[in-house]
Amino acid sequence: MSNKEDTFVVEDMMCDNCINTITRTLTNNDKISDVKADLSNKEVSVTYDDQLDVEEILSSLDNIGFPATIKKKL
Ligand SMILES: [Cu+2]
């Protein structure tokens, strides 16, 4: 098993409370090993087991009221 990292754009992430909610929710998933939120860019970088479907990350963010999109890699 190996890890991959994706960055998500979360437009509704406005403050530290949002970051806490997002970080707590994602780190509850044991296939997610690291979450780094950057409020200034409204981006969340997630390191996760490649067995985890990225759609699951998107839907868990959607479920807590933070719809997200995957940032395209350059
Ligand atoms: Cu907030």
5-64 pLDDT per residue, tens = 999 999 999 999 999 999 999 999 999 999 999 999 999 999 999 999 999 999 999 999
Which residues touch 11 (CB under 8 Å, ≥6 apart)? 42, 67
**Cα of 72 from ligand 1 centre, angstroms:** 24
Q: Right CATH number for 3-70 from 3.40.50.1460, 3.30.70.100, 3.40.50.1860, 3.40.50.2300?
A: 3.30.70.100
**Cα of 43 from ligand 1 centre, angstroms:** 14
- According to DSSP, the residues that pair with 66 across neighbouring strands are none
Of residues 72 and 56, which shows the higher confidence score? Answer: 56
- Please tell me the pTM assigned to this model: 0.93
| Sign of the C-alpha dihedral computed for residues 38, 39, 41 and 47 taken in this order | positive
pLDDT for res 74: 64
